[in-house]
Chains A and B, each alone.
Chain A
Amino acid sequence: MTRWLVLGALLFVVVIAAIAYTRWSGAAEPHVTGVVLEVQSQSLVMPDWFRLRDSQGREWRFRVDPAAVTDPIHPMNASHLRQHLALADPVTVYFRNEPDGPVAYRIVD
């Protein structure tokens, strides 16, 4: 009985460690780097969506989670995306896949 308890505890620890590793290492975070080709927004702050071309020449369209534009240190709002567009400054987009397409939740210079 004790042996099974120990094995179970070990298994639990291994699973938790694996989950933590994938979260912290970024391995579970899909992301892509490229230049912004188009920004669609109704406001200065919140982009509705934007189009990005990655280094392999593929084009992506991302809707934007409000979390991506509320960073208090460096807000990546719609205006800032336009500045990146104008100067072809690349951005890295962290996204999650939803049924309607990818949603950017963090955008990094």
Chain B
Amino acid sequence: MMHTEPPWPVGRQSSSRQRIAATLQVMTRSLFERPVGRRGLLAGGFGLLAAACAPTAPASPLVQPRTGQPLTVAVPNSDLAVGKNRFVLALLDSENRLIPNARNVVRFYKVRTSATAELKSETTAAYHVIGPGERGIYVTRGEFDEAGAWGLEVIATLPGGQEQVSRVAFTVNETSKTPAIGARPPATRQATLADKPLDKLCTAKPGDPLHDLTVMDALAAGKPALIMLGSPGFCASATCGPNLEHILKARQRLGDRLNWIHVEIYQDAQPPTLAPAIAEWNLPSEPWIFLVNAAGVVVDKYEGGVAPAELDPALDALLTA
């Protein structure tokens, strides 16, 4: 609920935003009024979106008035890079509610210029419940062959049967900030129960049993490993805590066929000082889960919340690889 008047009158939105909105309306229409080849260049609004969403904040602060968009797509990923990526989406309706289980088509575009974008791939995103209240996320896989400005287009069928389109721009980096799929992760020698009591290692209440082994020892063990870096004790939303629950259930199911490791985010499990491991892994966010094969190579990684429906098959595949 809005409690105060906005700091700037609604009518003072930047003219560039108006131009973007107008362009997107035109481009959304054009997308469906004429066929678009898979490799064809699509005159689009992604370039404008990319400019608007560039990492440096725009000079003119918002307020933007109500747009009344029936579909908005938001992307929580913080580490997208050239190669294969787990891509997470949130779909919101005009009342800021999550839209669950929407039938959808997801298209990735490489933005070429301020007016053109090339369709690179088309897929769908699966809806996964990751926490209490049936709240969830859409997950798909995006493979990006070059760095720079990219665009995402989602065509979703809303609960009333209405089909809506939303677009958002994002940036793909040349290399991943976190350990890349196919790379060896840092041989971290984080503190374990051999060094400190559990309450100095783990924010979970009660503390979890994933603090026996260092990452360095796990990488040398010749056995697959799941490595979670997160701070479940400070998670009031449905991400870190449920992630840990899913991991503990998987551990019950799979036992010591894998090594299971939890690295806390905060030194001595107490903010604000970050644990040294966080800098080693160069995490831009938390939580993360990394799956490492018996050769000590990252085979998959998950930023944010993950559902058993997504994690369990990946663990099974890790064991049979």
Q: Chain A: which residue is nearest B69 at the CB level?
A: A57
A32 is contacted by which of B2, B76, B88, B240 (Cβ under 8 Å)?
Answer: B2
Q: Chain A: which residue is nearest B97 at the CB level?
A: A88
Interface string of A11-55 (1 = CB under 8 A from B): 000000000000000000011111111111111110011010111
Contact A87 B131 (CB under 8 A): yes
Interface string of B225-236 (1 = CB under 8 A from A): 000000000111
With an 8 A cutoff between CB atoms, is B206 at the interface?
A: no
Which residues between 59 and 103 of chain A lie within 8 Å of chain B, taking CB atoms? 59-61, 63, 70, 72, 74-75, 78-80, 82-90, 97, 100-102
Contact A83 B4 (CB under 8 A): no
19 contacts between A and B (CB under 8 A): A30-B3, A31-B4, A33-B1, A33-B3, A41-B285, A44-B265, A45-B272, A53-B92, A57-B67, A61-B57, A79-B286, A83-B237, A86-B76, A86-B90, A86-B137, A87-B90, A87-B238, A89-B237, A102-B61
Contact B96 A88 (CB under 8 A): yes
Give, as a whole number of angstroms, the nearest-CB distance from A44 to chain B.
Answer: 5
Interchain Cβ contacts within 8 Å, total number: 147
CA distance A21 to B88 in the complex (A): 45
CA distance A106 to B77 in the complex (A): 24
Contact A101 B61 (CB under 8 A): yes
With an 8 A cutoff between CB atoms, is A56 at the interface?
A: yes
With an 8 A cutoff between CB atoms, is A58 at the interface?
A: yes
Which residues between 64 and 121 of chain B lie within 8 Å of chain A, taking CB atoms? 64-68, 72, 74-76, 78, 88, 90, 92, 94-98
With an 8 A cutoff between CB atoms, is B283 at the interface?
A: yes
Give, as a whole number of angstroms, the nearest-CB distance from A82 to chain B.
Answer: 5
Give, as a whole number of angstroms, the nearest-CB distance from B279 to chain A.
Answer: 10
CA distance A102 to B234 in the complex (A): 27
Give, as a whole number of angstroms, the nearest-CB distance from B100 to chain A.
Answer: 10
Contact A60 B63 (CB under 8 A): yes
Give, as a whole number of angstroms, the nearest-CB distance from A21 to chain B.
Answer: 17
Known A-B contacts A43-B284, A60-B62, A101-B61; the reply to A35 vs B92 at CB < 8 A is: yes
